[in-house]
Structure 1
């Protein structure tokens, strides 16, 4: 309304200034001869009256300094006797960038009034409504405008104007001398139809608007031209020019389990231009309550973020039961912070925190399908620093991961990484020519430090859990050198030194526990505080190359098949750090017969300890890549040649330890991936065990283990111990190349229409920001995607197969109806996973959404009918039944 008031005042000022200047211009020049005849004069059709010397060096305040143009396509009259000017037929008055168009404009200098209205043609059609345009203020349309520039009073009939996504139409508006606007029978709506009350509108029977407030009399709602029998007797709406605090009205309703409620009532605090806060709460008649605080902050070119805290206490069951006497308490914290990269170059601070209790998403209504089924939460608060013109960098972070299904929590408090990029210490910046062998030596350094805690969420802040924090520091110094030999082979050598610092170690001793049936062997573990260091080193080398093979075809679409093999072989050596002189290992008696076994005193350390036993191993691997070239008339960017990958990254890897006592050959791992189409990707991986698996029965129980004998010695292939296969596929109507004309609206050269569409899009984006799942794209008729995963495992004693299929998509029943679904199937349990359906109906300025989970533990539904615009976001009708309701 403030914007409308400004437009009205500017429109009036324009009429006044144009009238004064035009009157003076007529009297001085054009109409001198007409005045002598004292009669009504007809001026030429399509005449433009322009005063060219309106800009003066010593112009006084309030005088017009821009060129004024008055144009009428039909005719222009000046009645000298009555001192009245008439402009008819597409009349236009232009002053600077401001413009007024109307079918008829009359300026009466005698009464100091101006009047503009539309006209009726010979066929009885009404056209030429007064339109005021100002780039700074917007556009205002009305049936007629009357204004007295001497008394500063005026009237506007049947106004039509847009105000921040809302539209004010109809009725009568009177401007008073004290700058008040009196309104009568105007309709406010967010619908952009020419007659918005055909869909919905709020009729204000009486109202007064000032610069800072709007006061209304009785107001009622109209839907489809039908008045609703609910009348608001009066209303008061402040119009502050800055952010202001205020009360948030609650939702009133009934929950079948928790009782009657007042929900989402609270207070909004507009603290300043950079920070605001929203506090909400809810109470239920059966003793439950909830509260949350949300805050946003921003500083331009510096940083921005938001914080959300919530707590709820919910009582289920009936009074006197265990479930009712011990309410379910849940909390949640979310924090997001991002720093502008240009704020402090080389330094960055960011945060993404998401932590909650296990029931926070399940015991509180309003969460989406994705939030209900999620099992993993994670958080990170990080700081990083890069020193300019230096190889050093530093990063530190506090991290959190949480499994909602098991209740386990892992914290890193904090982790630190300090590193130096690889340097060539023996090379010179002024070197000329190729590097010598010693100049190719590269040295790096990295430091890692961490404090980790793993526990259950119920024990997180108890002293017993805090004593389980594990701390450690690790240093790594890699030294490497690489060179080409025999032109086609890349040879690399490396020396790696690693040192770990710990502040506690473990000691184990044998304990025999007597029982009525015998003695049980057990182990007691003691934690010994004190600083200990553990260092180890290894040396190695590798050799790799690429082998290309190609077969060309002269005829047909197939042009060539190319096969690329990348073999690699390497050698690594590590001494035996399990020897007594190092002090890294100790011995433990494992049974009453005195049998002993070595263990590492650093086995509970964050980074482990040095390896036990000497290692001199050969590492080998082979990678394959197969692709074809075909002739394609569609692909013109590559001369009609299209490359299609057939097999990407088919690899197999393993190692052989020459000095091991047994089991010298490691298990063999393989994997690969391929893309049959741009929409279908397939990947697989697995492990092969080359050793014979031996089984026997001990105390009536079948046990087994690998023995040092290869399966091919018995004429068998290596045993497949694990295999994973997965693929995902997505498809939509656009990918099939079909153009749906009904989804492409016709282009219109109408700036008013585009401004309305942009306002609606901005409003829709505001809705999406509040609920990421509210976005519905009606321009794509259908979408479909699914993911399949197959996993096979074989321990030798037990085989297990797990198969899952997940699918989601959407489709348009009609151009205004959209159905979405999300489902899956577990082949192992022969059960359908959590399934949900959503139905959306576009009702122009309204929309309807239905969410339904038909079966399972989260069976629920909700139906919402609401106005699209965020201005009237509380104008809605909802019916829902949450999954926790037991009635």
Structure 2
């Protein structure tokens, strides 16, 4: 604990650089401005305004000085002194001093301001020094010399970029040095920050380029911490500078004592920087990372991050300890200003790592631990002005951290032409003729794709598994209205695929001790091959509206929109020998053969086998009701409520198929129980009979060419699913009243400003980007449910998932959050976490706890809210991988 406090105190004494920088600006004056000379007096009952001009031979003051006083002003002609009482104000240039009492000595070129005690013994009218460039400060008294630009401030109170400098004495010397004595720096906005915390500088000197301090110490809850830094020296450059980053000191129950996040910051130039950090653990683990930011105004910006770690788990001598876990992670984000290169854009979002990079690193949050999928993209796109053409290319990455599979696109390219009407005229007058409605498009897609595991990603033999291909698509379409109410469309789609390798299968009889085992070998044949296919189609659709009106009651009307559609499609059999797209292979010793595509497992597949001439059909329904709004006392308001949306049924019938001509019937839709709760559902129905039989002692099944309704049965449900999510909070229910959400308001203090607490309530109380806490909402609740059922005929499967999360405020300062769910398959509660937050004015307390499961852990953080002091905290953690 002593080491922890020592480190915290030493680290944040660096903040005196910030304090000294601001203090050095409090007394800067421009004494070269000339001042005029006038003098007027107003009636005794009004504010008196005086303007002076002094002969330059008798005084060194030769600038304009304006002053006012609400009570009275007295002039001592003998000593050339003005005494201003009651809301006194002195203005010189752009700077002002307001106070209960001001003494303006023109003979000595000085000004003295202080507060006053009223008839009830209350102290008021504290001096307020205002500078438009540096803001305002309040003090008990202010003394300043116009001629020498020297001054003193006693018991200062000022806010500087989120921090507060209070108490003590500040003195500005003629050589621009600032002397500090007994001042306190804190991010707490209380009049006496020692009630919460503050860093006390007993004495110090700040110049333009450096700060030298004497003894300094930390005060918490009015209790000085008995750890004093005897002196400090800090450079204070006016530009970005390189420097050492002090480490975190602590202990991990598994990895041992550590020095973490120790490194060096390098300010390379005005556009680019680099941060290098590392950490070591007493039991042999280590880590290192590099982070860089770059920006060029009006051009681009981005950041880079790379980390590598080697961690030893378990006990010395065990395999886990002797074979350390090595993990890496790389992130890159790049954004281009849209105006930098009109017509072209370049962007990057890279997030790649080993599977343990999120789970083996201390301090990762709940969402990082359970993260399962990573993806990346580096893309470039180009559009040509006054042209239908566009180009885009990308390097892509997709990674599953559970299965450890990786898919890379190296790269992908898309070139397209927007749809145009080649037979239409730009200067056409009147409606389009039938041939002018013909629309033609074009797209080209080229890919190089690699599927592997992260352990084999950088192996030489992995490169031979790259799949490449180019695909061309030319859609031709035309649509028109027929019989006034029907939309008729026709289309012709031509596709051509280019590959650089194909496959050939061959039969292999492998002798075994029990006989011969049949197997297939696959050979990859290099060489260019093209595969083309085409299809024809057409469709007819319309909309039918039906409305039932009601004259009595709240129900006004029921409206039904019925959208039927029917279409026709034709595709030839590209499995015929004349196309040379398919081959056959022997399956067993009996000579049984099976056809296969030589483009099997290629990027875009090959042309389909079997002729198709099918009718497609679909029905879509939307039902809604209109009701009188209960919130409208005049009964003139009408509210629409959807009952069913997108309730559809789709299928097809292939006239030229040998059997099973009717496809499965798919249905889907959405329905609403309330305005905020809706359910989406989907499913498939098989119209054919499924027959089971025993073959070689095993139960097998097949679909036979016989409709179920011939046996008096309905189509068989092969799969069905539905899901819904719902969220609500106290605001949505209209219960967010003053009783459970009292306003914070402004707190009176000596700074005469808006209470910073109100702004700090809506902030992240930790570095965890998911730990956003809104204390203004008493409670939130959301949940998600998913149900799916499948029936293959032989087996049935049912999957259910339920997840819930929410938060509630025990008091305006206490907030509890939770995230949980239920695993119906394992009949157990899924990964669950709880978080408790306490708003401590200028401090935050956060407790995060995963009570059970493989990631059982907890951490407690007590830290200062302000980002400038984000490392001033105490933490207690137990990571999930700690075994004791």
Category of TM-score, reference length = shorter chain: over 0.9
Q: 2:628·2:636 contact (CA, 8 Å) conserved in 1?
A: no
Alignment match, 1:547: 544
Query: Equivalents in 2 of 1:660, 1:752: separation in Å?
Result: 88
Deviations 1:543-564 (A, max 9, x none): 1111111111111111111111
Alignment match, 2:127: 130
Normalising by structure 2, report the TM-score.
Answer: 0.93
Aligned with residue 259 of structure 2, among 252, 262, 273:
262
Query: Equivalents in 2 of 1:607, 1:250: separation in Å?
Result: 53
How far apart are residue 750 of structure 1 and its match? 9.0
1:645 aligns with 2:649: no
Deviates more, 1:247-256 or 1:672-681: 672-681
Alignment match, 1:293: 290
Query: Equivalents in 2 of 1:519, 1:569: separation in Å?
Result: 53
The 1:382–1:356 alpha-carbon spacing in structure 2 relative to 1, beyond 3 Å, is same
Aligned with residue 8 of structure 1, among 26, 33, 36:
26
Q: 2:52·2:66 contact (CA, 8 Å) conserved in 1?
A: no
Aligned with residue 143 of structure 2, among 136, 141, 146:
146
Query: Equivalents in 2 of 1:271, 1:863: separation in Å?
Result: 37
Deviations 1:450-498 (A, max 9, x none): 0111111111121222101111111111111111111111111111111
Deviations 1:55-96 (A, max 9, x none): xxxxxx9964x6x43111111011112222111111012345
1:302 aligns with 2:299: yes
How far apart are residue 213 of structure 1 and its match? 2.1
1:606 aligns with 2:603: yes
Q: 2:629·2:635 contact (CA, 8 Å) conserved in 1?
A: no
Alignment match, 1:619: 616
Q: 1:573·1:617 contact (CA, 8 Å) conserved in 2?
A: yes
Which of structures 1 and 2 has the larger relative contact order (alpha carbons within 8 angstroms, sep 6+)?
Answer: 2
How many equivalent residue pairs? 861
User: Does the residue aligned with 1:734 lie in a helix, a strand or coil?
Assistant: coil
Query: Equivalents in 2 of 1:747, 1:760: separation in Å?
Result: 7
Deviations 1:644-688 (A, max 9, x none): 110110111111110011111111111111333343231111111
Alignment match, 1:683: 680
Q: 2:765·2:846 contact (CA, 8 Å) conserved in 1?
A: no
1:248 aligns with 2:266: no
Alignment match, 1:745: 743
Query: Equivalents in 1 of 2:378, 2:22: separation in Å?
Result: 47
Deviates more, 1:105-114 or 1:527-536: 105-114
1:334 aligns with 2:331: yes
Aligned with residue 413 of structure 1, among 406, 410, 433:
410
Deviations 1:410-464 (A, max 9, x none): 1111111111111111111111111111111111111111011111111112122
Query: Equivalents in 1 of 2:388, 2:873: separation in Å?
Result: 59
The 1:577–1:70 alpha-carbon spacing in structure 2 relative to 1, beyond 3 Å, is same
Superposition pairs for residues 719-730 of structure 1, below 5 Å? 719-730=716-727
How far apart are residue 153 of structure 1 and its match? 3.2
Query: Equivalents in 2 of 1:756, 1:627: separation in Å?
Result: 50
Aligned with residue 787 of structure 1, among 778, 784, 787:
784
Q: 1:584·1:601 contact (CA, 8 Å) conserved in 2?
A: yes
Alignment match, 2:556: 559
Query: Equivalents in 2 of 1:278, 1:765: separation in Å?
Result: 26
The 1:472–1:609 alpha-carbon spacing in structure 2 relative to 1, beyond 3 Å, is same
Structure with bigger helix share is 1
The 1:456–1:119 alpha-carbon spacing in structure 2 relative to 1, beyond 3 Å, is same
Superposition pairs for residues 361-510 of structure 1, below 5 Å? 361-510=358-507
Alignment match, 1:214: 211
The 1:605–1:475 alpha-carbon spacing in structure 2 relative to 1, beyond 3 Å, is same
The 1:746–1:850 alpha-carbon spacing in structure 2 relative to 1, beyond 3 Å, is closer
1:320 aligns with 2:317: yes
How far apart are residue 335 of structure 1 and its match? 1.1
Alignment match, 1:58: none
Deviations 1:234-262 (A, max 9, x none): 22233222221111110111111111110
Query: Equivalents in 1 of 2:76, 2:778: separation in Å?
Result: 63
Q: 2:806·2:818 contact (CA, 8 Å) conserved in 1?
A: yes
Q: 1:764·1:868 contact (CA, 8 Å) conserved in 2?
A: no
Q: 2:676·2:726 contact (CA, 8 Å) conserved in 1?
A: yes
1:224 aligns with 2:221: yes
Alignment match, 2:4: none
Query: Equivalents in 2 of 1:63, 1:8: separation in Å?
Result: 22
Query: Equivalents in 1 of 2:750, 2:219: separation in Å?
Result: 25
User: Does the residue aligned with 1:465 lie in a helix, a strand or coil?
Assistant: helix
How far apart are residue 748 of structure 1 and its match? 5.4
Normalising by structure 1, report the TM-score.
Answer: 0.93
Q: 1:415·1:450 contact (CA, 8 Å) conserved in 2?
A: yes
Deviates more, 1:648-657 or 1:677-686: 677-686
Query: Equivalents in 1 of 2:559, 2:639: separation in Å?
Result: 13
How far apart are residue 282 of structure 1 and its match? 0.4
Superposition pairs for residues 516-555 of structure 1, below 5 Å? 516-555=513-552
Query: Equivalents in 2 of 1:261, 1:13: separation in Å?
Result: 52
Query: Equivalents in 2 of 1:70, 1:432: separation in Å?
Result: 78
Deviates more, 1:517-526 or 1:43-52: 43-52
Deviations 1:773-805 (A, max 9, x none): 232110111100000011111111111111110
Deviations 1:485-530 (A, max 9, x none): 1111111111111111000001111112222223222111111000
Q: 1:160·1:168 contact (CA, 8 Å) conserved in 2?
A: yes
User: Does the residue aligned with 2:465 lie in a helix, a strand or coil?
Assistant: coil
Superposition pairs for residues 37-116 of structure 1, below 5 Å? 44=44, 46-51=46-51, 64=63, 68-116=65-113
Q: 2:272·2:292 contact (CA, 8 Å) conserved in 1?
A: yes
Deviates more, 1:422-431 or 1:628-637: 628-637
Query: Equivalents in 1 of 2:579, 2:169: separation in Å?
Result: 96
User: Does the residue aligned with 2:225 lie in a helix, a strand or coil?
Assistant: strand
Query: Equivalents in 2 of 1:753, 1:45: separation in Å?
Result: 30
How far apart are residue 745 of structure 1 and its match? 2.9
The 1:678–1:271 alpha-carbon spacing in structure 2 relative to 1, beyond 3 Å, is farther
Query: Equivalents in 2 of 1:577, 1:209: separation in Å?
Result: 85
How far apart are residue 749 of structure 1 and its match? 11
Superposition pairs for residues 474-873 of structure 1, below 5 Å? 474-634=471-631, 640-741=637-738, 743=741, 745=743, 761=759, 770-873=767-870
The 1:763–1:139 alpha-carbon spacing in structure 2 relative to 1, beyond 3 Å, is farther
Query: Equivalents in 1 of 2:680, 2:150: separation in Å?
Result: 77
How far apart are residue 216 of structure 1 and its match? 1.2
